[in-house]
Structure 1
């Protein structure tokens, strides 16, 4: 084999492989439609009214809301889009008045001070992360964007832009949702799809029992349950008219929990199950999607505790589907105190320090260049801190991958826009370009470089619609400078142990696993609590796995701080699987077999060993210690 062939056959380093990886899936035509109808009409209305600057602000808000417009239910989108938009409006107001009344030094200190808590909050979850990001971006825009309008008008325009996108999300039907049973309506199609996917995932896990695919299918079931949990956790829409439909969806989700438990126990046993075992969950999935009755469900063989639990769960589901009543187990129970611990913990402190330092440093550099007239006629100094915010956030991907994708996407987007700007009529052609970019944004979100390229085109078009000259060169220069700042800050030593975010997620997963195991071994007969604890354990593990995967794809100098975390998470997953198998067996016989006891002891020893290698992060409750 030649030297070139050997080089080509070598695997790519994780940080480069992550930068080249893109998500796959069907085109989200509903999101594409919303994107096309979001910023473009807002700009047209503002131009007709002679308030182009406010139209630009509204279009920016619609763009940011579109970035947060992810697949899922309408009820979940209210929080996912609305909460960051409110934070963005607050940031725009603060940034506007700070930029008007403070000098460069004082403004830099204010921006740094805002960046610290906004970064720390990002550790609490995806919505909190989007909230912190939008707060900082809007603050930078308010402080540096030259607009003739007073602050309160900017805020109203920002809220109008985000509210318009949210209204489209709530009002527009999903393509194809009106071709089926019209009695179902379309307002809860996202919830129905999410709950139906849970039943399909249960069937897939049953099919994989006793095979090498069981672990992957169990992880897919966890993801489906997480998605359904989020889909049902938003505010109630049309509370009085749709209460029956909502109760039915909650009952159908709750009925899936014992099925998921039984399927996990059967997969843990490592033996194949009869093929007909998966037929029942698939019929339940079809009933959820079509709003139909389940009909007769094929009963599995009752020769083992797991199969008996599956049969009982199918009977329970059939009753719940017919009566439309059941437990309301969809809410993730996270107390404010737990969220505060996450924000103030090691992960939150590390997020906050890096985001605050990077946001403040980029603002200082940008203002120094701006006041020194290094920018020439393109004095968009706020681009630098706004770009740095998206680059420094650890939950948005590995640092090297983010920097590479941001740089490549910005250069591509700026060059594409420069070509369009040379031939398009103004402002009509630019407004059309904004509408096209908004439509492409949901598809481009599958890869950070593609998303960056589309956002770059959209932002540069908005700048020109606002009456400023073409600024492609300035956009490229500021992005490359932001990449350099973020790379430097990302590798600076910080107080405390590196990898705080990963260790915090592992600690939460360990605490949830311990709470679940304790409840099961105590012999408590409260199954609703048990299923809630089981859900929290698997969800915390999924979040830890995501954080570990991102950390492992960092450059070697950063990735080494989380070495061994994946092994700890794997042991915790096996522990939760074993706990589930123990729960099903205790329900059936009232006692554990020697195999269950031996497996718990082995996992106790393995967990202690893995934690020791990792550096022994203290897990809440010290699960399985001694």
Structure 2
């Protein structure tokens, strides 16, 4: 007898990410929140130390593997938003009554939700803005809003300083400032080699997706602030040139993947040597050339020659920059996805604040004076970045219960404040490991926050925090299933429409036979990146409960068609470079895919715009 399949929403809740332990992030976690709390206690300013430690903790949730320059934006922008939220929340909490305060927080949730639709960094910034506002409004204290904001910003800034200053393990042999960038660019060449090895096999499609992910990661790693306005050091110039040299290699490998004919092992040897040269910051040495028996193989050979030259004396370029204007970002925030998510965030945050304030004046709250926990919990629960709705609700509830029980046990035996400071330091070290599963992350954060609050003078509050978390889970579940103005599935529709626009722009550029290869590679990058974002949104929507998942039915087929269309466009570009014209099989395949897109668009419930070239 076959076992019944696990529902997607439950399978997601049970899934755990794997990978090596990020020891450098663990060390930063030990040196962040705990020492900041200790400094506040020793200085007689414990509340300030608590806020600084909270700032470091929230920054630690965004402290992911990558380059130092990318960490400036990934940690810094959310920290600035959190400090602003603390300032606004403190001023609103001190100057407004309960009903106007709830309305103000609801409006702030609408703004933060729309901004969160722009991307991961914007989502983290929106989250910290609302968490900071809840803390500021729900934690009455003697400090002014400016003092609180500065303390929070100092805590996050301390973790950012640690991220920029401390070398990662194994990077001391070279210029450790660029170890993250070197690893990201080397991963691109490894991904090209892996795709070439898999051409014609069952793993080829997965390897092509892995190449896109590696290019996205390298693009982000190089897109942070430079040491100066222009790449000023030899190391920076080499990294920019080596990333740019990988783009034509990726294009040729994708064209070979589209053709589906296996290539010799010799073809992958060159990219492997280039990856080793980037990783070790050494010269390439002789590169084995592939056979030049087909247009894509000739393109691969030419790209290897250009890469060898770029490794020696390549000029820096700006090909790594995502070309999204302020107007584009505003359109994303105000589009269907931003509006739908903004409304849900506003309702969850506003309802959480209203219920928390109502309970604050009842006996249920007892001696607990602060009501921030419920709306702050709702902010994390409403984030689709953390998984499908039911999955993250289950993980949040389980993690909070476990964390509260663990803390209650420690609080009964640990000395104060020394034991609580040690518990904060240990929890900070565990956060980088616990981010592999939302329930584990929630448990560790719960222990850390309860430790901070008790160190700041609050009584032991494990039971009430469990109750508030469960209330937040109910609120988010209800709001998550409410009908909204307009069509459901706005987030998925926006991502798929953006992927269609990017694929269209890339196809138009290629079939126009433009000789501007730099623009072509930039458009190709944007098309594959938009497709990866659309694919992630579709997978997430498919793992929701059936009442929500049905609103995105058919989107996976459309994304798959667009992926094949962009692959075919890449093969067309390589063939045009080689022969100056398109073969009949290219034209037939393009027509077939455009027609397939139109058929899928008519069947799906997303009501996507068509591609003009489909006619």
Alpha-carbon RMSD across the aligned residues, in angstroms, is 1.1
Partner of 1:281: 271
**Distance in 2, Cα, partners of 1:617 & 1:573:** 19
Indicate if the aligned counterparts of 1:507 and 1:617 stay in contact, CA closer than 8 A.
no
**Which residues of 2 match residues 284-295 of structure 1 at below 5 A?**
284-295=274-285
**Distance in 2, Cα, partners of 1:220 & 1:450:** 27
Partner of 2:372: 382
Indicate if the aligned counterparts of 1:72 and 1:194 stay in contact, CA closer than 8 A.
yes
In structure 2, which of residues 593, 611, 615 is the aligned counterpart of residue 622 of structure 1?
Answer: 611
Partner of 2:340: 350
In structure 1, which of residues 64, 68, 75 is the aligned counterpart of residue 69 of structure 2?
Answer: 75
**Which residues of 2 match residues 58-97 of structure 1 at below 5 A?**
58-97=52-91
**Which residues of 2 match residues 139-150 of structure 1 at below 5 A?**
139-150=133-144
CA deviations on 1:533-558 (whole Å, 9 max, x unpaired) are 00000000000001111111111110
Indicate if the aligned counterparts of 2:296 and 2:575 stay in contact, CA closer than 8 A.
yes
CA deviations on 1:37-61 (whole Å, 9 max, x unpaired) are 0001101111110000000000000
CA deviations on 1:411-463 (whole Å, 9 max, x unpaired) are 00000001111111100010000000000000000000000000000000001
**Distance in 2, Cα, partners of 1:134 & 1:156:** 15
SS at match of 2:515: coil
Partner of 2:168: 174
CA-CA distance at 1:335 after TM superposition: 1.0
Partner of 2:362: 372
**Distance in 1, Cα, partners of 2:498 & 2:474:** 33
Indicate if the aligned counterparts of 2:352 and 2:378 stay in contact, CA closer than 8 A.
yes
Partner of 1:36: 30
TM-score, length basis structure 2 = 0.99
Residues 245, 98 of structure 1: alpha-carbon distance in 2 compared, 3 angstrom cutoff? same
**Distance in 2, Cα, partners of 1:16 & 1:132:** 27
**Distance in 2, Cα, partners of 1:102 & 1:262:** 62
**Which residues of 2 match residues 74-223 of structure 1 at below 5 A?**
74-178=68-172, 180=173, 184-223=174-213
Partner of 2:384: 394
Partner of 1:464: 454
SS at match of 2:321: coil
SS at match of 2:177: coil
**Distance in 1, Cα, partners of 2:148 & 2:300:** 57
**Which residues of 2 match residues 241-390 of structure 1 at below 5 A?**
243-390=233-380
CA deviations on 1:108-144 (whole Å, 9 max, x unpaired) are 0000010001001111000000000000000000001
CA-CA distance at 1:148 after TM superposition: 2.2
CA-CA distance at 1:616 after TM superposition: 5.7
Partner of 1:511: 501
Unmatched tracts of structure 2, length 5 or more: none
Partner of 1:613: 603
Indicate if the aligned counterparts of 1:233 and 1:330 stay in contact, CA closer than 8 A.
yes
Please identify runs of 4+ aligned residues in structure 1 that moved more than 4 A: 238-242
CA-CA distance at 1:527 after TM superposition: 0.2
Indicate if the aligned counterparts of 1:571 and 1:603 stay in contact, CA closer than 8 A.
yes
Indicate if the aligned counterparts of 2:555 and 2:606 stay in contact, CA closer than 8 A.
no
1:536 correspondence with 2:526: yes
TM-score, length basis structure 1 = 0.97
CA deviations on 1:459-513 (whole Å, 9 max, x unpaired) are 0000110011111001100000000000000001000000000000000000000
**Distance in 2, Cα, partners of 1:522 & 1:324:** 29
Indicate if the aligned counterparts of 1:62 and 1:162 stay in contact, CA closer than 8 A.
yes
**Distance in 2, Cα, partners of 1:624 & 1:470:** 64
SS at match of 1:188: helix
**Distance in 2, Cα, partners of 1:618 & 1:484:** 33
